[in-house]
Chain A
């Protein structure tokens, strides 16, 4: 009793210190009145968040899913990296997802999640994300929160300006961050200007199972940094930022920042479709893979593709234009009406806003100041709508609230600046802790933002949390933007480096969330659908164990007749048909991860026993009151032994 009293006192005192700290303390935290902030992010036990937020994992290669406003982590979705927790990339079924034209690549650098859209509004069907290192784009199905498709981008050197979807999910795009010889060949690096080219790639995205490179546009050897597709009136166009228009190949830190202006490339992809229909696409050599996870067979297959259709701007007038934009623009963001194209010149204090209408007019009037490789360069003053004189430093990215306001991150001055579209006046500014990169407003790059919250995705964490040694998780910060002033509500750590993020109203997604895979739809070639089919089959030195799981036993749970040198495939079908009843499977000494099999699913673990003995296997995911009993034994005999194959569950 005494101890309880002490706890209560401690709790109350802590609350007091935390909740009623003096102003100095509040200022250091950067938050508004803390109890008011706490109220706004409090989601009571058993209640749901208002939004799903999908954070890129950066160098973790994954996507993590958070609830907003609570900042609670809901799930990590494995995408480009092996994930031992879920067996992704370890079990036989998902290994092909990580295949590339270079073979199995178990990691990537995932940057920009992008929700599928219908009529410019996030529709909650899928989310896409780019892999920057070995250029790829993945589709995640939001009924299962599983990665179901990955397509490699050929002839690209770093897929950064990607995926940035078009208004009806027709295409996701992929601009090369690092120009490379096109197609790849062995040349001296200092022949950059002569041999290096960029590729802007369009990938068909609206049909699961058929993601594929539709065409590439061959462009000068700049660095293509970020992109956004047009919407509304500008639907049919995509805008890519460029830097290194100097075409430098070394000491880019200095040499790629010489020009006062680089370009935003405006691509008319509807025009591209016309040129392709006219047969203007040239066949270039290319080799890339397409990986697809079939939800019925529960198996991914990887298919190698050859060749790509390429459009050359000089041969395709009207396909692409350059809009001069000051100071190495990083993000390019299109406002909800589709009229304003914001260039975030990262070496500048100001933002350049181009007008889509003015751009069309300048094109019509042929108001060009020059041409690069057949690409007309429009006159800066003819396309610019205005400049936001921010007072900040190092603008990177802009999102919109749907109420006529834009919000821009400033990396160097570590803040978010709110400004008004059309008048370009700065309305408010809020500090970030520390060094913000991307920002995210739910639906904030779409036609209809849910303009209630803003998340700043910070690059530097330092003293924001309890220290965890030299490395600390990157910090996200949630702001309330429903009023005139931005109000900091919450800090929460993220996984890897969440470059960009997207969020969507929870009800759009949750109503379609699947609870099980129906067992009768399971078409896995090694599935068994009832316990009476459990068996162990030897084919030479390959042994296949056809196994089932249900609370709380495996069938079979005793296996004999395995020999050293065998390759044992455990094909585990989870017979459960209820929500949240996965079973795991692990085997002592397996140089592999576990399986984690969802209800109605089949997965395969490969085990190559090395030593004689009897080895336990067990369920790794606590499944019932008798979970600890969910175990089996497998006997391994010497290589030449004549112990017959035998399996059983129970005594008969």
Chain B
């Protein structure tokens, strides 16, 4: 019976599979797989926070050198921060998520930018972000769809805290 079953699978399931891959020339290509479960299985290093200085996060920002604080930028960043971030981040006190005060003493500027701009991927793949998600009881960082320019202004504001 078992052998017979395998034979059945061969003649029934296989053609179906082939059929699925064959026709339908106009059908859209499968979008890249990005289901959370795929990355969730990755192994976690012992203490991700230890290596923060070499962790630039995952996202559009690869290198960011900071100069003197630009007060005008910081001012504009404060407006954006208050509108889009304060629902979860109070400047100097843990709320839903961590307080950003002193952020650059524990994260690289690139990491900070990528966390704002690419939170979905960060909380799936970045070791620090993954740990923070656990600390926030699984409350995910929301993607508030900031532009890179807006995120940079927010970072400038955070530097003034």
Name B's A-contacting residues (CB within 8 A). 5, 8-9, 12-13, 15-16, 19-20, 22-24, 26-31, 33, 82-84, 86-88, 95-96, 137-140, 142-145
Contact = CB atoms under 8 A, between A and B. Distances in A.
B20 A12 contact: no
A550 B88 contact: yes
A12 B8 CA distance: 7
A48 B28 CA distance: 6
A550 B82 CA distance: 14
Interface in A62-79: none
Contacts of A39: 19-20, 22-24
9 contacts: A15-B12, A16-B8, A35-B15, A38-B19, A42-B24, A46-B31, A519-B83, A530-B86, A548-B87
B83 A552 contact: no
A529 interface: yes
A550 B142 contact: yes
A50 interface: yes
Interface string A558-599: 000000000000000001111001000000000000000000
B140 A47 contact: no
B144 A578 contact: yes
Contacts of B142: 550-551, 576-578, 581
Given A43-B27, A550-B142, A35 B19 contact: yes
A552 B84 CA distance: 15
Interface of A: 5, 8-9, 12, 15-16, 19, 35, 38-40, 42-44, 46-48, 50, 506, 516, 519-520, 529-532, 548, 550-553, 555, 575-578, 581, 624-626, 650
A100 B6 CA distance: 65
A35 B138 CA distance: 44
Contacts of A516: 145
A555 B145 CA distance: 21
Contacts of B87: 530-531, 548, 550, 553, 555, 575
Nearest to A516: B145
A259 B28 CA distance: 53
B137 A626 contact: yes
A39 B20 CA distance: 6
A552 B138 CA distance: 10
Contacts of B20: 39, 42, 44
Nearest to B32: A46
Contact of B84 (A35, A519, A551): A519
Given A530-B83, A575-B87, A626-B137, A40 B12 contact: no
B28 A577 contact: no
A626 B12 contact: no
Contacts of B30: 44, 46-47
A50 B19 contact: no
B23 A16 contact: no
Contacts of B88: 550
A650 B87 CA distance: 12
A516 B28 CA distance: 24
B139 A650 contact: no
A548 B96 CA distance: 14
Nearest to A625: B138
Contact of B143 (A9, A577, A625): A577
Nearest to B119: A578
A551 B140 contact: yes
B34 to A, nearest CB: 10
Contact of A40 (B15, B24, B138, B143): B24
A577 B144 contact: yes
A531 B81 CA distance: 11
Given A46-B31, A531-B86, A626 B8 contact: no
Contacts of A531: 86-87
A553 B95 CA distance: 11
A336 to B, nearest CB: 21
Most chain-A CB neighbours within 10 Å: which of B8, B16, B145? B145
A552 B139 contact: yes
Given A12-B5, A35-B16, A530-B82, 15 more contacts: A12-B8, A38-B19, A39-B22, A43-B27, A44-B27, A529-B83, A530-B86, A550-B142, A551-B140, A551-B142, A576-B142, A578-B142, A624-B140, A625-B137, A650-B95
A650 B12 CA distance: 59
B27 A626 contact: no
Contacts of A553: 87, 96
B14 to A, nearest CB: 12
A42 B17 CA distance: 11
Contacts of A529: 83
Contact of A624 (B12, B19, B29, B139): B139
B143 A578 contact: yes
A9 B5 contact: yes
Contacts of B15: 35
A550 B12 CA distance: 48
A626 B9 CA distance: 42
Contacts of B8: 12, 16
Contacts of A577: 84, 142-145
Given A39-B22, A40-B24, A626 B5 contact: no
